[in-house]
Structure 1
Amino acid sequence: MRHPLSRMDFTLRTQARSWALAALISSIAPNALAQSTTGAVVPIDLERLRFTPAATDSMLVDTGHVLPQGAYRLMLMAGYERGILLLKGSDGQERSILDYRVSGWLAGAWSPTDRLELSARLPVIIHQGGNGADTLVGVSAPDAFGLGTPELGARYALLRREDGAPVFLSLGLDVGTPGGTADAFGRQQGWAGLQVAPRVAVSRELGPVVLGASAGVRIRSTENEPGRDYGTELEQGIVVSTRGKGLRGEIALQAAESLVEPDFALELLGGVRLPVGGGFEAFAIAGHGFTDIPGTPSIRAAAGIAWAHQPPAREDVCRSGRSHTPEQCPALDDDGDTVPNGQDRCPLEAGPPENDGCPDTDADGDGVVDREDACPNEAGVAAHRGCPEPKQEPTPPPPAPEPAPQAPAPELAPQAPTTEAPTRLPTEHHVQFPVGQSTLSDSERRNLDAIADYLKANPGVSLRIEGHTDNTGPEELNRTLSQDRADAVRQYLIQQGIESSRLTAKGYGPAQPIASNDTPEGRSANRRVEFVTSTTGE
């Protein structure tokens, strides 16, 4: 039997333990409530900074203006962000799980072919940290170091200002590849971190500034975070940037609208850049986020250096007042006849569109232009499409009455025959050509057939075939054209059986006109091939 005092002592000690346990529970109850969230935190890609490694017009927003062929740009950048990921516990208090992050980027862009630009971006999480993760159930403090999502990109220019388009316009595609560190919030957990981001971009210069905009969608895995989902988003950006080769500035607004949650991220950014010589450029950007969406920092700052290689600039000879050939500028209309050079058979001589830009000619001078003249080498009348009027046979007179028989008259002495006009030789013909061409027409082939028959009948005759042009266009081009015309005639005569040794061809360009080049008729007469004959022994 125990002593009553011993029983009382046991009771007091039991009550003391109960009071101590109650005091301990009451002291940790608030923390226990704070440790609960609506679910576990899944790693996601928290980087929202979008920048263009090529930086043709803007560093921050794609403007549709790709690098010229052969150009490339390499850049190294370091940045600081604050207020990146906030989580609220069941106690209603927010904890900055990622309060700050120091990152670096190695990026570059290159244009291997005309209109196409390729790019790559490698983000590195140098150091990051926060507080409060250890007070939430299911949340672990993120790794302090890791890699972000590496990206590969491509842009293709659909429209370019240098080609005469009203705007720059391009299609782009960025692909986020596996490789980021999930425990450092450097990539999405699902799809092995893969992301796909197609977009379209457009811009236009307005005096000293460029206005640009881009819109696209970032397709990625959906992650269920406490109180919200995080995944595919629409991305937009607008920018105003200055132009020139010295100090340049820009201001941009980047936005992202979630397609899995009613969230909207918004960040205002500004940047400056300054060439420092040798192809190097120093730059800096800063920004402020207006929402608490994960990845949108309250403040951001970054700086870096870039080196760019530009191929020798092609002189824009098609600008007003600059010397050029029609072939160099097919979109221009050098002769002002509404037919562009690239579609104009006579780009330096005005003519109607229905004649492919060449002037109407009237080789036979009958007032009917050659393209409407059924007989272009024979004068006629309009009523017969430029052909002569058909000859009407005269009505024979009525037969005279037979005369009465007369006595035979004395025979008269024969008279000398009347001298006829000399016959025109076939080699006196001038072969005519359309403007800018060395092609023989069917009628000219018939004339050359007559010349070939003449040469066959006179084997001792040789020909020097001389080609000529009018003075329209560059002299060197006309000299080549005249030689082509002479060669075309010589080759045709050889095909008709004339020995090549009897034929020589020489082009003189516009140097030997036979008429004034100030009129269409004179220019038509000067576009000719003529013949100089010689006989064996001369």
Structure 2
Amino acid sequence: MKKSTTGLLIGSALMIGLSGCATSASQSSGSMESDAWYQSPFVCAVAGGLIGGGIGYATSSDSDEDKGAAIGSTAGATIGGMLCANPKPAEPQCPTFGGTVPAGVATDSEGCPLDSDGDGVYDYRDQCPGTPAGVEVDGKGCPLDSDADGVPDYMDQCPDTPAGAEVNALGCVDDLVLEDVNFEFDSAKLTMGAESILSDVAEKLAANPEARVRLEGHTDSVGSDSYNKDLSQRRADSVKAYLASEGIDTNRMTAIGYGEEQPIASNDTEAGRAMNRRVELGEWE
């Protein structure tokens, strides 16, 4: 048998084997299992080298046999290794992260770092994990505290406390006068505007479950002492009942009617009397 025929037969046999390796590698590229030995780029490179060397030997002249075999072997090894190389599956990339996610950071199905409390700050950066849903946070993932009094805004009944002031559990320095919490004339029935204000109070109390409150009713000096005392108590009770309807546990609240005993302005003027007709919110210790 001629040299060229022998070389081509050997080359053809090896080419068939190499094609099988490459096909197997291609089919298993998405699998998580380890590749078989014959799928290794090294094995394929060896096979490719033999194929290339055989073809180079068979197609060269008698004087160039060694050179042809060497060139063919090098080219075949390179091609074989490339054919069987198993490209690494592309890792999912987070569309909103804006860079490479640090190694070791837990990610979701899109390759984004986890944000368990949904506050927009990834867990691995979040210094206040577990923030309630919908609460506005700063860059560290902590609830905003605009007046820096230690009571987060979403719990703070007095969000504009002066800097450095000592506050109670409600975020207030003193008892809070509930402005515009008014009642229908000569009754304890809350107006619609009053209910709206008390809904906001209730929302912050619900977010601050450790705080207990005093609800104080006050009147002006018009009318008898006993009548005013009774009216102020009924009004304080009305506020308590409304907060309870908003989900605040009654065990967290106490209602007290002081009547006209604790004025904060003169009862000699209409403006002063209006200021004295009030409901106050304070910490119940």
Q: Calculate the TM-score normalised by the size of structure 2.
A: 0.38
From the two aligned structures, give the one with the greater strand fraction: 1
**Considering only CA atoms, is the larger Rg found in Structure 1 or Structure 2?**
1
Higher helix share: 2
